[in-house]
Amino acid sequence: MWQILLSALITILGGSSSPQKGEATGMVLSHAGTSSPMGAGADSCRICHQGGSFDLAAESDLNCFRCHRDTQTKALKAYKHTEVIHDKYPTVSCEGCHNLHKAEGSALLSQDESALCRGCHPEDGASNTHPVVDMESGKGQIITGGDGRPLTCASHCHDVHGTDYKYMCRLEPGRELCISCHKDFGK
């Protein structure tokens, strides 16, 4: 259904849903069943696919910071993936975690948060567990943070885009970080 709507929109905007003489066949239909960073519509595609013809490759050096300026500011901080992990993973990029065409949710993550963390940090175990273990089982528990989201490495404790604190913590490691959730212990 969305293919018909997209074809109609392209035609209305002055294009054609069919290739013209000398024009390659369109690739829009190859994205059937995929997500779009800005929702449906021609403007969404034009953010990364510039030009007027139907077949357009995305920019090879896509600058995510063109739209995500707040993330660019974080990426300039002292502690960030590109600096913290040194030679172990030298090619960390936005696409390592985000997939513009095949992800769901507002962050367009290619996997759930805990799977993303474990992809590069398997030695850290299950990253969807609280660092304090359950006394009876001796294992971590899946719990939610104050906002109701599952507590994962990146959801509450670490800022994967960059921070001023070592270990990429959202706050100074130690007391301040802990009482950001455990307010009763801060009294």
> 158, 169 in Cβ contact below 8 A?
yes
Of the pLDDT bands very low, low, confident and very high (cuts 50, 70, 90), residue 107 is: confident
* 154 or 27: which leads in pLDDT: 154
Helix H or strand E segment including 176: helix 175-179
- Rounded average pLDDT over 75-91: 64
Question: How confident is the model at residue 178, as a pLDDT?
Answer: 81
List, for residues 14-30, the tens digit of each pLDDT value. Answer: 444 444 444 444 445 44
Q: Where are the domains of the chain?
A: 2-46, 64-186
- pTM listed for this prediction: 0.59
d(Cα 56, Cα 63) in Å, to the nearest integer? Answer: 17
pLDDT of residue 155: 72
Q: Is the pLDDT of residue 97 over 50?
A: yes
Our CA dihedral for 163, 167, 171, 173, rounded to 10 degrees, sits at -160
> CA 100 to CA 84: how far, in whole Å?
25
* pLDDT exceeds cutoff 80 at 177: yes
